Amino acid sequence: MTKHRFSQHALSDWMKGEGPESEIVISSRIRIARNLRNQPFPMLATNQQSKDVMEQLTEVSQSGKLKSIGRFETILLSEISELDKRVLVEKHLISPNLANESRCGAVILSDNESVSIMINEEDHLRIQCLYPGFQIQEAWSLASGIDDIFEEAADYAFDEKRGYLTTCPTNVGTGIRASVMMHLPALVLTSQINRILSAVTQVGLAVRGLYGEGSEALGNLFQVSNQITLGQSENEIIDNLYSVARQIIEHEKAARKRLMEDSRLRIEDRVKRSYGILSYASIMDSKEAAQRLSDVRLGADLGILSNVTPQVLNELLVMTQPGFLQQTFNEKMSPEQRDFRRAELIRKQLRGETDYGGA
């Protein structure tokens, strides 16, 4: 069993609190991309150059200024297992790109895992800050402060006309990616989701699934983020996302109210069927688990179910992923074995049991 704390619990400490609009907005995230001047981008760097970057940035992370924010741990990805890397991805603490290119990669994690600083990912430095609920401004304030600490000690690649220089052209400018993870089951059930998301993309925002670009929107979870970083200030990016997300929240609330007024019995039946299947199923693939958990979460938010909490459901979203399943039960699994263990874990979690028979 790994000794790293991030794999001991599926739910990061920052997710245990409830932020504003938490029945719809799961989390708010700011990610800042930066590179060092006079060093080639990671994709072109030699091993020695990447090591030099890692040493310089990890030294900054040990400074007193960063320690004033909280306690941090530096994890070298070359020193942890592939399973540990997968768990980090499933918890959104590192990107799949960093997990796959980890010879000279590292992640600096805060104790509560709300801050994740990636080194030698697509860019030399990626600062990520996560908050529960709809707190995008708060996440930006924290990320900006951490960025200032690194900028004081490191010479960033910056151009007066283009702004911060990044590996991907879509990040050039502010280098900021602001996003909110939203649970939108009512908009899906009322067939409004495509119209809403189409309108979102027309105002310069992108919509992705649970694990970012190219991922499917499993469990009615959608990640809404800015698509453009050049030509807008940081505050304009944040304000635009906040305004659009606020409108989506209001649409989702209206759709939930309409469902309860027009189709209450059908919604109650759907929620209770999903709860019953999750409580008694012997096998469960990840796609069905995500959809059933979405139904149950909607039922909890609407007051149909009173015996489950959003925290349990948030935890299950991570615990039922392949890497965390294998970590929990301390065994390598085939897809069929994972489906069996996933169903077992969900049953026990819903009953409040914590002994899964693993290590």
> Which residues participate in the annotated binding site for ATP?
27-31, 92, 126, 177-181, 208-213
The full DSSP string for 171-225 is GTBT-EEEEEEEE-HHHHHTT-HHHHHHHHHTTTEEEEBTTBTT---GGGEEEEE
State how far the Cα of 263 lies from the Cα of 45, in Å rounded to an integer. 58
Which residues does the annotation place in the binding site?
27-31, 92, 126, 177-181, 208-213
**Residues β-bridged to residue 224:** 180, 207
The number of C-alpha atoms within 13 Å of 79 and in the hemisphere containing its C-beta is 7
CA distances from 38 to 18, 98, 127 (A): 43, 22, 20
| Contact status, residue 20 vs residue 122, Cβ threshold 8 Å | no
User: Phi and psi at residue 266, in whole multiples of 5°?
Assistant: -65, -40
CA distance 324 to 318: 7
